[in-house]
């Protein structure tokens, strides 16, 4: 990094799911900081993917809270946190993972995050009463490197066994859940915690790399990191009638430190296709 703002500073990472394995080397190499791993707080209290603790805040606000707790526990003025979400793609029915890696520098009052968003995830579940189905599911999702979670009946049962990572334990857990089941079924799902899911860990790594590439964009006026597009202005004129459309007219980057502003006109071309025009294509 061509500025030294993070050099030799201690950046806290609050995690008990081994996220330091991907975040620490990348961040230390790029910035010259040292990452301290803080494990004295159970981050599962802020929400779990297995729904036993509901996440009440947004993905970004949960990451902010992790940083706040981490800075408090370790007495540092800068922190980093990762927070993921899993669900369906907004338009097509495929599983979708969004990972963010957030950095907050309290001394500079500066916040920035990297993102990785894609369908590269094994996020899935089945309900079954047959161990053959369990084995097929396990093979499909990349067990035992990717761990499993099992419970009796359905997704909301509070008898839950997490972190299953070998076949003997899987059989034992299946038998136990089946014998405790009222419906005669078990609910089996992928364990999405970072240490339990190498595919997710890869996406956390990509989000960290995205964060670094954003930090590496520096203000042309004062050199502060993170000089990235933070706002867009719509209104690109229609190619036919010249009226403003919803397409982007201008990108705006603003330095958090010196407030220098750069406006980039026409980042997506000089005119918008008439298909985006409310007048030509209502
Ligand atoms: Zn600046
Ligand atoms: Zn038009």
- Across the range 236-256, mean pLDDT stands at 96
- What CATH number is given to the structural domain containing 202? 3.90.950
Give the percent of the chain with pLDDT over 70: 99
209 shares a domain with 186: no
The single-letter DSSP state of residue 82 is E
What pLDDT digit, counting tens, does each position of 153-169 carry? Answer: 999 999 999 999 999 99
167 shares a domain with 57: no
CB 244 within 8 A of CB 237: yes
202 shares a domain with 143: no
Q: Is the pLDDT of residue 70 over 90?
A: yes
Q: Is the pLDDT of residue 2 over 80?
A: no
- Note whether residue 223 is domain-resident: no
Which pLDDT does position 90 carry in this prediction? 86
CB 49 within 8 A of CB 192: yes
Q: Is the pLDDT of residue 136 over 80?
A: yes
49 shares a domain with 175: no
The pocket of ion ligand 1, defined by CB under 5 A, consists of: 219, 221-222, 224, 255, 257-258, 260
- Note whether residue 19 is domain-resident: yes
pLDDT averaged over every residue in the chain? 95
142 shares a domain with 96: no
Ligand nearest to the CA of 226: 1
The single-letter DSSP state of residue 223 is -
205 shares a domain with 67: yes
Q: How far apart are CA 138 and CA 115, in angstroms?
A: 29
* Edge-to-edge strand ranges of the sheet holding 229-234: 229-234, 248-254, 261-265
210 shares a domain with 95: yes
Which pLDDT does position 51 carry in this prediction? 86
22 alpha carbon to ligand 1 midpoint, in Å?
30
Query: Quick one: CA torsion of 234, 88, 123, 26, rounded to 10 degrees?
Result: 0
250 alpha carbon to ligand 2 midpoint, in Å?
19
- Note whether residue 164 is domain-resident: yes
Q: How far apart are CA 1 and CA 15, in angstroms?
A: 25
pLDDT grade for 238, boundaries at 50, 70 and 90: very high
Domain count, the chain: 3
169 alpha carbon to ligand 2 midpoint, in Å?
64
**Is residue 272 exposed (0-12), middle (13-18) or buried (19+ Cβ within 10 Å)?**
buried
What pLDDT digit, counting tens, does each position of 161-218 carry? Answer: 999 999 999 999 999 999 999 999 999 999 999 999 999 999 999 999 999 999 999 9
70 shares a domain with 150: no
Structural domain span for residue 254 = 229-276
CB 196 within 8 A of CB 141: no
The pocket of ion ligand 2, defined by CB under 5 A, consists of: 238, 240-241, 277, 279-280
Q: How far apart are CA 188 and CA 125, in angstroms?
A: 6
CA 202 to chain centre: 11
Q: Which residue has the tokens 């396990």?
A: 138
Q: Residues 253, 255, 261, CA angle at the centre, nearest 5°?
A: 50
The single-letter DSSP state of residue 272 is B
- Note whether residue 96 is domain-resident: yes
- Across the range 3-28, mean pLDDT stands at 94
- Note whether residue 272 is domain-resident: yes
Ligand nearest to the CA of 282: 2
- Note whether residue 282 is domain-resident: no
pLDDT grade for 220, boundaries at 50, 70 and 90: very high
- Listed in order, strand segments (DSSP E) in 23-94 are 34-38, 78-88
- Note whether residue 2 is domain-resident: no
Which pLDDT does position 193 carry in this prediction? 97
91 shares a domain with 17: yes
Q: How far apart are CA 126 and CA 32, in angstroms?
A: 45
171 alpha carbon to ligand 1 midpoint, in Å?
59
Which pLDDT does position 282 carry in this prediction? 83
268 shares a domain with 238: yes
242 alpha carbon to ligand 2 midpoint, in Å?
6
CA distances from residue 72 to 29, 69, 109 in whole angstroms, order as listed: 25, 5, 16
Q: Is the pLDDT of residue 1 over 70?
A: no
- Note whether residue 137 is domain-resident: yes
- List, in sequence order, every residue forming a beta bridge with 252; answer none if it has no partner: 231, 263
80 shares a domain with 205: yes
Number of CB atoms found within 10 A of residue 28's CB: 14
- Across the range 138-159, mean pLDDT stands at 96
Which pLDDT does position 68 carry in this prediction? 97
What pLDDT digit, counting tens, does each position of 79-133 carry? Answer: 999 999 999 998 999 999 999 999 999 999 999 999 999 999 999 999 999 999 9
220 alpha carbon to ligand 1 midpoint, in Å?
7
Is the C-alpha dihedral spanning 132, 133, 136, 142 positive or negative? negative
Q: Is the pLDDT of residue 3 over 80?
A: no
């Amino acid at each position: 990094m061509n500025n030294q703002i993070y050099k030799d500073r201690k950046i806290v990472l609050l995690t008990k799911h081994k996220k330091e394995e991907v975040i620490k080397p990348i961040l230390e190499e790029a910035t010259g900081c040292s990452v301290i791993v803080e494990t004295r707080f159970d981050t599962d209290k802020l929400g779990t993917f297995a729904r036993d603790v509901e996440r009440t805040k947004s993905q970004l606000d949960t990451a902010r809270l992790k940083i706040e707790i981490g800075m408090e526990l370790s007495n540092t003025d800068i922190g980093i946190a990762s927070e993921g979400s899993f669900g369906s793609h907004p338009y097509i029915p495929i599983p979708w993972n969004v990972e963010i890696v957030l950095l907050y520098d309290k001394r500079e009052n500066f916040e920035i995050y990297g993102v990785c968003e894609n369908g590269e995830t094994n996020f899935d579940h089945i309900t079954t009463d047959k161990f053959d189905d369990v084995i097929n599911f396990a093979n499909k999702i990349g067990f035992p490197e990717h761990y499993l979670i099992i419970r009796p009946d359905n997704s909301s049962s509070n008898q839950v066994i997490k972190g299953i990572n070998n076949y003997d334990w899987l059989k034992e857990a299946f038998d136990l859940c089946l014998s405790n089941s009222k419906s005669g079924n078990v609910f089996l799902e992928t364990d999405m915690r970072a240490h339990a899911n190498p595919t997710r860990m890869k996406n956390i790594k990509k989000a960290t790399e995205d964060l670094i590439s954003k930090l590496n964009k520096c203000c042309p006026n004062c050199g502060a990191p993170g000089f990235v597009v933070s706002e867009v202005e719509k209104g690109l004129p229609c190619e036919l009638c010249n009226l403003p459309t919803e397409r982007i007219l201008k990108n705006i980057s603003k330095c958090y430190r010196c407030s220098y502003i750069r406006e980039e006109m026409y980042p997506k071309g000089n005119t918008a296709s008439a298909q985006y025009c409310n007048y030509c294509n209502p």
